[in-house]
Amino acid sequence: MRINKTMAWALMSTLLTSSAFVGVAQACTLMGATGQATKDGNAYIASTSDNPYIQGPRDTVYLTIPKQGYKFVHTPLLIQDPPGHYFDVGSDRGMNEKGFSWTRAWVVPNEPEAQNKTPPVDWFLKMGSTVATVDEAIKFVQENPKGIGDQGNYIFADAQGNMAAVEVGYQTVNVINKWSKEDKGIAARANRWDSAKMKPLDIGDTADEHDHEYFVSTGSRQPRALDLLNSGAGKIDVEMMKKFIADNENRDKAPLGDTGFSIANHGLTGGDVAAEVYDPARRTFWFTYGWADGDTKGENPAFDGANKNTWGVWVPFVVSEMTEEGYYTDWNGNITPVGARYLARMMMSEKRVVAGQ
C-alpha cells in the first residue's frame, strides 16, 4: 500500500507523542457523500464523536477478529467510573474488511424498547462481523430487536459506493434515502429526526436538559454540514471530509448549557472527544483523538480532561494491515503496544516504498 509523506509524518508524530505507552447522550455530527458528489465516485463518510470531556464515554480504536464473520475496526465507547474501571457501551463507529462502514448519532425515541432487545455492545459486534453492504445494513436494523443504545441516526456506506441515511427507533425504522455510485449522494445528520414518519417519535427536545441542548444545536450543526457538502460536490474526498468535520463556523456562538454549535464542537464541559473519516473502497478508517480541529484549548479548561491529549493529526487504520486483535488506542488517547506495532509496520512499509523509488 502506498503511503504519502504527509501520512508518514502523521504516523510518526502520533507514535512519538505516545511513545510512553503508558447510557449517554451524544451531540454528534455525521456527513456522507458518494457518486457524483465525490471526486472518484466512491463513498466517503465522516463523523464527530461528541461526549462529556471528563467521564466519557470516550472512543478507543479496537480490532475484532471473530471466529466467524468479518474482521472489523471499531470504536468501543468506554465510560470510566471514579475507581477507574472502564465499561463498554457500544461501538457506533466502524468498518469491516468488506468495506462496510457505519456511524450513528443519538436520538431519543418515544416508543417502547423491544422485549428481546439486542444490547448495544452485542448489536455493533454483530453488525460489524455479519454485514457487507448497505442493503444488508438496512435489513439488519429492520430485523434485529432494538433497545437503548441501538437507536438513532445512521449513515451506512460500502465499498461499492452505496450509501444510506436511516432513522432507527426501538420499533420503527425509516430509510431517509439510499444512493448508489450513479447518484449524487449527500447526507448530513445529527441529533434529531427529520422525516414526517419519525419526527412525532423524537422527544430529544424534552427528554432531559442535555438531550434538549443537543437537539437545539443540531439546528446549527446539521445545516452547516449540508452546506459544506454541497459546496464541495463533485470534489469530495478524504482530505475534504477531514476539513469539513473540523469546521468551526459557529464556534463563537455562545454555548447552550454544556455544548456548542460548531461541527468541531468546543462546548463548556462536552464536545468532540474524537472524529472519524471513512474510506470504504480502500478499507481505511481515519481516526483523530480529541477535538476534530486539533485545537487543544477548550472553553472551560477545568473540564477538558483527556482532551488535553488531542492529537491534531489523523491516523489511518487500514483493515487489511491490522493483524492483531485488541485495543490500538486507549481511553486517554495513547497508542497501545498493539497500536505501536501496527504503526511500526506501516512506517516500514513506507520506507520500503520510498527506497524503491
CATH of residue 167's domain is 3.60.60.10
Q: How many domains does the chain have?
A: 2
According to DSSP, the residues that pair with 102 across neighbouring strands are 94, 156
Residues 178 and 311 in one domain: yes
Q: Are residues 345 and 265 in the same domain?
A: no
Q: Could you tell me if 7 and 323 are in contact, meaning their C-beta atoms sit under 8 angstroms apart?
A: no
65 and 109 co-located in one domain: yes
Mean pLDDT of 271-275: 96
Does 167 share its domain with 300? yes
Residues 351, 242, single domain; the answer is: no
How far is CA 264 from its chain centroid?
13
What is the span of the domain harbouring residue 266?
27-326
45-70 pLDDT per residue, tens: 999 999 999 877 899 999 999 999 99
Same-domain check for residues 276 and 244: yes
- 340 and 252 housed in the same domain: no
Q: If you average pLDDT over residues 334-351, what whole number do you get?
A: 90
Q: Is residue 308 over pLDDT 70? A: yes
Could you tell me how far CA 324 lies from the centroid of its own chain?
22
Q: pLDDT grade, residue 357 (50/70/90)?
A: low
Q: Mean pLDDT across the stretch 213-235? A: 97
Question: Which stretches does DSSP call E strand in the chain?
Answer: 30-35, 41-52, 58-59, 62-64, 72-74, 77-80, 86-88, 93-96, 101-105, 152-157, 163-168, 173-179, 184-189, 270-279, 284-289, 315-318, 326-327
Res 81: pLDDT: 79
Report pLDDT for 233. Answer: 98
User: Looking at the structure, do residues 322 and 356 belong to the same domain, yes or no?
Assistant: no
Q: Supply the pTM of this predicted model.
A: 0.91
Q: What are phi and psi of 208, to 5 degrees?
A: -160, 180
Q: How confident is the model at residue 356 (pLDDT cuts 50, 70, 90)?
A: low
Are 110 and 251 part of one and the same domain? yes
Q: Which residues pair with 78 in a beta bridge?
A: 58, 88
